[in-house]
Each structure stands twice: as structure tokens, then as C-alpha cells.
Chains A and B, each alone.
Chain A
Amino acid sequence: MGTLLAWGGLVAAPLLLHLLSRRKYREVQWAAMQYLLAAIKKNSRRVQIEQLILLLLRTLAVACIVLAAAKLFFENSPIAGSSHQRTHRVIVLDASYSMAYKPADRSRFESAKQLAENIVQQGTQGDGYSLVLLGAPPRVVVGNPAFEPRDFLEELKNIHLAHTGADLSATLQQVEQVITAAKTEHPRLVAREIYFLTDLGRNTWQPDLKETSADDFRARSQRLAKEARLVVLDLGQPTWENVAVTGIQLADSTLATARDATIEAEIKNFGNQSITRLPVEWYVDGRRAGQDAVDLDAAGRATVALTHHFDTPGDHSIEARLASDLLPVDNHRWLSLRVKPQLRVLCVGSGQSDGYLAPAEYLALALRPDDDRADSSDIQCDVLGESSLADADLASYDCVFLANLGQFTASEGTLLSSYVAHGGNLVWFLGEQVQLDSYNRRLCSLDTGAERALPARLTGFAPAGQYMFDPLDYQHPLLAAYRGRSDHTLQATLVTRYVKAELPPLSKARVALAYENGDPAIIEEAIGRGRSILVTTSADRSWSVMPLIGSLNELVYEMLGWVVHPAAPERNLLVGQPIGDTLHGQAVAANVQLHIPGGEQQQLRLNIDGDYSVWSFADTQLSGLYKAELPSPWGVESLSAVNVDTSESDLTAADPTELSAKLWAGVPFTHLTDWQDIAEAAADAAPRRHVLQVYLLSIAIICLLAETFLAWRFGTRGA
């Protein structure tokens, strides 16, 4: 309001001067007054019009000078400023890896940085600048507005492209927070502008949001549009080509002790042109181990495989690599394999037998290598009674099977919860002994922050009957080995009793296998760094025929193979996800030396947590191998493979029309699609503004000359 008055006052200055000038005059005596009065009488109307014309010319001249001095931007300029008001400009820089696409001498990201620099350099004194990276997760680089362009540009210069995707919703949330804070702390910044410097990738700008999330997103966008002017500067190209390694995994379910492994890599052509004989190279532990060549149709996929024998146990890396293209980030994919010399399994069960064996013994029997799937030395299986659980050294076991245990003490609950949280694996089988309340209270409390060891709460015993499994289309990876097979006995398994279970609210647990009535049969959940699997029926013959028909053996083996997988998910992650490890025992040295892709190294503190030592690293912004050198007593290397989320490899741009019709319905924004236009707009913005100023000043000069001439003309015409 005050600013408006100030500007209004400036433009009204001629009028005020005109009025004031009537108070500032010279005095003369005048004899020929009658002729002067006669002149006024005859010409008063003409004089008024002439005075008005002169006043308008003076006002216009002053207004033009004021506007020129204020370096006004106009709405039709893409690099617009908000007239004479101090402006808070939030630059949202797309830092998803698709911005690394380099069609010419500069990548999209470099172009975006240059454009951001231009925006800042073309600002006016008093403007503030914030910088938010559009990523997954988003990152606020400069939150509190920087008023010194040099400081901002220094921050901008130090920004490097991460290999993340982009979470637009979370980014807008951050932007809103930045703007809200700036409004409070810098009330003089009365105008706001948000620039999205992006390739407008479809995966980012047309996210598959649930309806409620979409509503929230739209509401937030509308709030932002009310607060600020939204400008989307599209740095994408209309045509592009890209090939990426979209997946890498072990070809079959293999125990961590297996020395021979087949690794498959999936190659996808995201472009519109077919490719022949595309070379694919394999690297194992950094050494070239093989090469393939694939043919790819437009938008086609191909799979290549490598069979490799690992001579030594420990962590190994496998890399599938493509020849470089315009987007090199997704031309690599890594896999981290942990080959163990032996698996240690503990089976804990009640002593109650079904007349043949106790449940734990069935499990031990199932894990006994009496088939050709593993060497006898691969698995060391120990069996303990229920009463010995509290004294067991769980941390020394890769997996603990618990069968038909009746109830748990608090310390047992804590022991099991701690074990699974630190990376241990639990597999639960139930039975007649189970006391539901003890399970729920000790192992699956609903209290916030309570420790858990069980993925679901037990709600009651199902009545005796005949229940068959529903494999749920084998969607869960635990059942991946059954997929497409007809020789397995899982579907022929009859269950007569089971315990009903339900997932706690907001649980991340998943049902891997169900009964035909819809009740869960197998529920799994990652708890902490470990995993817990609940099988709602028994491991012995009392509730199911699994031990009789062999399906128990296969199921137990698959579960063990899944939870103790050589390519464990906690060591094969996506960019942005934290890496780390829980080690059994206490370290001598306190630090872990972490080698980051790109050559950087970091010292990480090793935290002691009871019988465990824990390290973690959250800032995985680059794809590649993260190698942790563990101190004594372990003295080994831990490898984590961090890969890109290849949804970002699809460089298809979002349709801005669809964007304004759906996700940003009712959200006004300026969108520029032509890269050349944007570049020229950025390059020409200041000159154009100067041209505008020249125009304004020219008009002012013309007005002043016209005013002088007309004043003279009005005074001398006909004289």
C-alpha cells in the first residue's frame, strides 16, 4: 500500500508541481490589465485545454522517466519482474538425472544453471533469491532469500547434478515453506515468482498420484499460484534417443553360499529408433568379465546374462555397462553380491510333538541338505528348545525359525525385536501352543515406537476346516521360484487350522500367500534392517499336510533363500536411499572409511548398539558402488550398489495442456516449450528491458520537447 502511494505520488508529481507552482510566482505591477482580462475572458476555455495538454505531457514525461528508472518488467516477458516491487524469486532447478541429457555442448542441467544465472543477473537491487532442487528428495539449497546475487551464484555454481528422480509434490511442499518463511521474515519482498527450470519429464510432471494426493497437490499448487507467478521454463527437446540398463539381478533364487551365479541385465530402448548390435559389457569386481550385443526395437527390451564363478566369499560387485550415449547416467547398473562361506540357521520350537517330530525338527529336516540344491556344508542348522531362547546368541545366526512357541517374556520380546531390527531374519510358524495375547503384546504392540518382531497381530484361531492356498498370482518375490511352474506342491497343500492375522494400521507388511477365503497365510515385513515372516499355520502335521507332501521343505528353503539372499535389498538400493550395515560385535576402531562414486571418501562413525555395531550413510546422491572399509574385528569390505530409478530414463515430456487440464487444473502458469525461445529470452531479457527503457525515456524526451514547444506555441501563436 505504501509503495503504491509512493509510485502514485511520483507520477502525480507534475500535478502537484503544477498546483504548487501556483503558490510560487513572481509579482509585477501591470498597467495594461484590461487587455489581459479581456484575453482571459475570451480564451479561458482554450487556455484550460492547453494547460491540460501541457499537464498531461508533463505527467507522461515524469511517468515514463519513473518507469524507466524502476526497470519495469512486463507480464509478457518470460524473464519477468514484478514491476517496481521487490521480488522474491524462487528458482526450482530440476536436479533429476534426465537433466544430464546432453544433446549439444551443454547438458540440460548446465543450460538450466546458465538460465538461472541469467534470471538472477537480470534482477534488480533488493530482490531476493532462493534455490530449491527438484529431486527425490527435494533439497533446499538457499531457503532464506539471498539478496546478494554473487552469494547466490556461488551456491548455484557449486550445485552438481545428482542421479535422483524428482518428487514434484514434495518439492512444491518445500517451495511453499520457503515462500511462507520469506513472507514472514522479509515483508518487503511483496512480489513473488517461482521459476521451474526443468525438462518437464512426464514421470515428474505427470506423476501417478492417488486421488487424495492429487487434490493436495492441486491445492498446494493453487496456493502457490495465488502467492507467486509460476513460470515453467522447458529445457526438453522434442526428439531424443536413450538406452538404459533398467535392471540387474540374479537369474534364479540362489543361497548366499552359492559360488556360481547367473546374473541378468535388462536393457531398454526408450527411443523411437531401433538399434542393432548394441554392445553390453560385464564387469565383475571392476574387471571386465564378458561382453554381449543386443538388438533393440524402438521402445524394446532385451536381456543379457552372465554366468560367473566366485572364487572367494565376501562382497562382490557386478556391473552391466552400455556404450556411452547422450544420457550416460543410466548406461550402468551395479549389483552387490554377498557370498557367504556358510549359513547359520537356528530353529526354536516347543517340545510338543505331533507324534512324529517336534515342529522345530521338521524345520531342521526341511533345511537339511538332502537334495542337490546345496552342499551339506552350506547350512549349519541348530535346534533349541523354547526355554533356551533367552540365552541364545541370535546375532550369530543368519535366520531364526520359531515354531509353535507358546508365549514370550518381555526380555525375549526385546531380544527378538533387537535381533530383527539389526538385520536378523525371523520366520514364525504357529500351532496349538500359541497364546495370542502374548504374541501381540510382546512382539507386535500397537504402541507408537514400540519394538516389533512380528509383522501382524494375531486375532484368533480359524475354525477347523479344509483350507487351500491362494498364491496371489505369485506376485510376491518370496514366491518367485514357483512362478510359471506346475510341478510344485504349494497349491495342493491342505491346511486344517490356522491363526487369523491382521496387519497393523499403516503397516508396510505384505501378504505373500493367502488362503482361498482371503485370510493371510504368509505375511512378511522388513523390520529395521531385518525381515520377519509369519506363516499362520504350523510347521508340523497338526495343522497342515505341508511336511507330508514336501511343500514345507520347498517353502522353508525359498524363505531362507529370500531373507538371506546374496543380492540382499539392503545392499542393492536406489539413489537417495540410505546404505549401511549392522555388524555383530563391537568395533575396535570407531570409524568406517566409505568410498563414494566419483572418488570421494568419507569417515563414518560406527555406533555401538548393544551387541551390534551400526554404520549408515544417507546421502547417496550418485549411482555406483559404495565401498565401506570395516575396521577390526571384521576387517572386510562391504559393498553397496546404488542404482538410478530408470523411470527417469524415459525422456518423454509431459504435455503442458494436459498438465493445465488435470494436475494443475485452475493453476495459472506460464509455459515455454521452445528451448531457443527460452535461451533468446534469457539472453535478450536485459537488452529488451533496456530497449523498453530507451522507449520510455524517448517518450519522456518527446513529451518534454512537445511540452516546451507547445508552451512556446501557445504563448506565441499569432503573436
Chain B
Amino acid sequence: METYQKYFDPRTLASLEGLELRAKRIVEGYVSGVHRSPYHGFSIEFAEHREYVPGDDLRFVDWKVFGKTDKIYLKQFEEETNLISYMLLDTSESMRYQSSQAAMSKLEYAQCIVAALSYLVLQQQDSVGLVTFDREVRSFVRASGNPSHLKQLLHVMSNAAAERKTRLGPVLHDLAERLKKRGVVLVLSDFFDDVPAMLTGLKHFRHRRHEVIVFHILDPAELDFPFDRMTLFKGLEEWPDLLTDPRSLRKAYLEEFGAFQKQLRVGCRNAGIDYFEMRTDQPLDMALTTYLTRRMMQYKM
């Protein structure tokens, strides 16, 4: 594994203490590997590097690059429009789920994404806000571009308790009304709720001319259903327990789950919403790439 890539690996991240450290590692890893990324050319906080020539202002030397490559580059900044990003994080009980195939729960995974993106956003001097919710909004942190804002975001996220049932539709409607300033709305959830109601809520954001990105956070066990012996499934979010032979149900479950995903995905596409499935056993750079792609498109527009 490349050095930079290890910071996208959930197993590596899980061994790190604290969201802030995790966020920094993700972003740094991402930045150091960006020239290898298929998304090469995306601007993060600089348009391009130029080799240092004597007489250049040393304030613009990219010391991190120098530390890694022993070469002196100058960062050339481009003027960018400030972007507001709203991170909507589902902290319902179902997000607490973590199978043996995953190094972290869905909530932890989503928190890592939110933290990394927030760090990145603030690094770009954009604004970022945070909303945590389950069946209702639990915390609302207004968008800010102050670098110290990150600590508040991380604190709110760290204290989020996953205990209640999801009720995403009404929450989204509520937030769509409350987030008046146009921006990028990132929704991170497993979306285990009524799909039409959720889509209606998401469309509400689109109606408010927000760019909406849906990160569908899923555990590999929910996607693969790898159980092979008699299992007592203890329902979260007030669902009843179920004792069954999972082998006999695997096909039917995957059909049901696939239908759910398809309904959500197609609904998002039809509403002009970007939909991304995020498996908690996969690297997190996809989230950053996704966000930056959207950011680039915003910038170019």
C-alpha cells in the first residue's frame, strides 16, 4: 500500500485516536497522492505548483512538498468563490451498526468523511456547517470558514449518540427550510427509511437550489449478507428481533436491499442529486474526490 493510501483505509484510521487526527491524515494523504489520482488537475487550495527560482517570495513555498520531495515548489493560488458546504450527518441507531467485516461503524466512517471534508473545506477557506439528526435535528452548527471552527464541528460529532430511529423525510424538509444560503449539501446516512419521503426531502433541497450529494453509508454485511448459520438478528431502531437461517433468506434479502438501493439511486438521479454508495470497508478518498469534483464544477460555473 502506498504511504498516502493507507490514510484512506478505514482499518488504519480506526487505529488513530480522535477525529481531527483522522481528518488530517486523510486530507494529507489525499493531497500527497493527488498527482496520481485519476482526478489529477483538480484544484484544492492551489491551481498548480511552480518551481522556485531565486527571488520568489518564500511565504509561498510549499514546505510540505519540500519535506516529501526535497524540491522547492511555490504554491500558486487562484481566486475562488467561497463555497458553503452543509454536512448532514445521520446519527440514528442504525448508523451504530458495525459488522465483523468493517473496521468501524457506519457512524464512525461517516464522521471521518465529515471531518476530512470539513478540514479540507476550511483549508480552502470555504465555509462548512454541520447538522446531526435522527428522527429530528439533534445539533445544528452554522456554517463558518474560521479554521478554529473545525474543533467545534468535531466536538459536536464526537458527542453524537446513535440511539434513536431515523425519520429522514421530515428532517430534510425541515432543514431545507432552514438552510437558506445556497451551497453544497452533503447527506451522510444509511437511508434506512421510507425512500419516497426521503427523496421528497432531498428534492426540497434541490428546489432551494442546493447542490446535493448523497453519501449512502453501508456496512459490507448489509450489502453482502455473509451470514451462514442460524442467527438471531437483533433489530435496531425498534425493529423486532428475528431468529432465522440466513442462508435461506440471502437471495431474498439481497433482492429487497437491492431494490431499496435502486429506488434511492434512481430517485436521486432523477432529482439531479449525486448518489454515492460508500462501503465502510473501502477507502475514504472517494468521498473527497466526489466533493472536490462537485467543488470544481461549482468553481467553473
Contact = CB atoms under 8 A, between A and B. Distances in A.
Nearest to B194: A34
Interface string A32-72: 11111111101100110011000000000000000000000
Contacts of B85: none
Given A31-B192, A35-B257, A40 B234 contact: no
A26 interface: yes
B97 A30 contact: yes
Contacts of B46: none
A309 interface: no
Interface string B225-238: 10111111111110
B131 to A, nearest CB: 21
B207 interface: no
A711 B227 CA distance: 12
Contact of A716 (B95, B245, B251): B251
A25 interface: yes
A25 B243 CA distance: 8
Contacts of B96: 29, 31
A146 B257 CA distance: 69
Contacts of A40: 242, 244, 249, 252
A50 B248 contact: yes
B249 A719 contact: no
Contact of A31 (B94, B232, B245, B252): B94
Interface in B248-301: 248-257, 260
Contacts of B251: 43, 714-719
Contacts of A29: 96-97, 233-234, 236
Interface in A249-263: none
B134 to A, nearest CB: 13
Contact of A34 (B219, B225, B239, B243): B239
Q: Please classify the interface of chain A as helix (H, G, I), strand (E, B), loop, or mixed, using the class held by over half of its residues.
A: helix
Contacts of B225: 719
Contact of A25 (B231, B239, B240, B253): B231
Interface string B90-108: 0001111101000000100
Given A28-B234, A31-B222, A34-B239, A39 B227 contact: no
A21 interface: yes
B229 A25 contact: yes
A214 to B, nearest CB: 67
B236 A31 contact: yes
Contacts of B256: 35-36, 38-39, 42
A22 interface: yes
B147 interface: no
B239 A37 contact: yes
A33 B235 contact: yes
Contact of B257 (A26, A28, A32): A32
Q: Please classify the interface of chain B as helix (H, G, I), strand (E, B), loop, or mixed, using the class held by over half of its residues.
A: mixed
A37 B93 CA distance: 18
A39 B239 contact: no
B247 interface: yes
A160 interface: no
B230 A22 contact: yes
A277 interface: no
A24 interface: yes
Contacts of B239: 30, 33-34, 37
Contacts of A714: 247-248, 250-251
B190 interface: yes
A458 to B, nearest CB: 99
Contact of A28 (B95, B227, B255): B227
A211 interface: no
Given A43-B249, A715-B247, A715-B251, A32 B192 contact: yes
A46 B251 CA distance: 11
A27 interface: yes
B220 interface: no
Q: How large is the interface on B (under 10, 10 to 19, 20 to 34, 35 or more residues)?
A: 35 or more
A715 B255 CA distance: 11
Contacts of A32: 94, 190, 192, 222, 257
A42 B246 CA distance: 15
A719 B229 contact: no
A30 B252 contact: no
A36 B254 CA distance: 9
A366 to B, nearest CB: 111
User: Which interface residue of B99, B232, B236, B248 has the most chain A CB atoms within 10 A?
Assistant: B248
A54 to B, nearest CB: 8
A718 B244 contact: no
Interface in A686-717: 711-712, 714-717
B249 A36 contact: yes
B65 to A, nearest CB: 42
Nearest to A46: B252
A30 B251 CA distance: 17
B255 A33 contact: no
Contacts of B99: 28
User: Which interface residue of B106, B243, B253 has the most chain A CB atoms within 10 A?
Assistant: B253
A33 B236 contact: yes
Contacts of B249: 36, 39-40, 43, 47, 715
Nearest to A50: B248
A714 B253 CA distance: 12
Contacts of B93: 31
A599 B237 CA distance: 102
Interface in B173-220: 190, 192, 219
A46 B232 CA distance: 20
Nearest to B97: A31
A346 B135 CA distance: 139
A706 B192 CA distance: 37
A46 B250 CA distance: 12
A718 B259 CA distance: 13
B97 A25 contact: no
Contact of A30 (B230, B235, B255): B235
User: Which interface residue of A28, A35, A38, A718 has the most chain B CB atoms within 10 A?
Assistant: A35
A199 B184 CA distance: 104
Contacts of A38: 256
Contacts of A27: 231-232, 234
A36 B248 contact: no
A21 B236 contact: no
Interface in B152-192: 190, 192
B230 A28 contact: no
A425 to B, nearest CB: 97
B157 to A, nearest CB: 19
Contacts of B244: 36, 40
A33 B242 contact: yes
Contacts of B232: 25-28
B253 A35 contact: yes
A321 B202 CA distance: 122
Nearest to B106: A31
Nearest to A24: B230
Given A33-B239, A35-B260, A37-B239, A28 B233 contact: yes
Contact of B242 (A21, A37, A46): A37
A22 B243 contact: yes
B287 to A, nearest CB: 20
User: Which interface residue of A31, A33, A37, A47 has the most chain B CB atoms within 10 A?
Assistant: A31
Contacts of A718: 251, 254-255
Contacts of B94: 31-32
B204 to A, nearest CB: 23
A186 B234 CA distance: 57
Closest 8 CB pairs of A and B: A39-B252, A33-B239, A31-B94, A715-B247, A30-B233, A31-B97, A25-B230, A715-B250
Given A32-B192, A715-B251, 8 more contacts: A26-B232, A27-B232, A30-B239, A31-B95, A32-B190, A36-B256, A40-B244, A42-B256
25 contacts: A22-B243, A25-B229, A25-B243, A27-B231, A29-B234, A29-B236, A30-B239, A31-B95, A31-B106, A32-B192, A33-B239, A33-B242, A34-B192, A37-B242, A38-B256, A39-B256, A42-B256, A43-B252, A51-B245, A51-B248, A714-B251, A715-B247, A716-B250, A716-B251, A719-B225
